[in-house]
Structure 1
Amino acid sequence: MRLTDFWERLEQAFGSAYARSIAADQTFAGLGGRTIEQAIAQGVDTATIWRAVVAAYPDRVPSRLR
């Protein structure tokens, strides 16, 4: 998944302001306790990051974005 696609999905699921907040402040067990921004900076594949987001927020992410 391209990085731009990742951000589009995150913003569609959470809204643009909240998506950026989640990316900066929320740590994810599926990312080894890292935030989205940390995982991206460390070269984690965006598809892996997206799966961690979906796992953490299964009721928030619409099925069409999974």
Structure 2
Amino acid sequence: MPDFTTFSVLFFTRKLNRNKKELSIYARMTVNGKCAEMSLKMKTSVNKWINMKTQLQNFYYRRIAIQIAI
């Protein structure tokens, strides 16, 4: 019987207590059913986050992807 490894990454936001218009970006990684969450130490405004797609609007998404890659 073959061994299967599962892996997924979900990006999500949380509201900051001190600023209601700003969101902190987090990543939840799951490997074989075990989860870990981490802060990306990045923030975005409420208007720039597309909640249904769990991503930033197109221009901002590209910029943040470049920053993560570095």
TM-score (norm 2): 0.29
TM-score (norm 1): 0.30
Give the structure with the larger helix fraction: 1
Give the structure with the larger strand fraction: 2
Comparing both chains, which one has the higher relative contact order based on Cα–Cα distances under 8 Å and sequence gaps of 6 or more?
Answer: 1
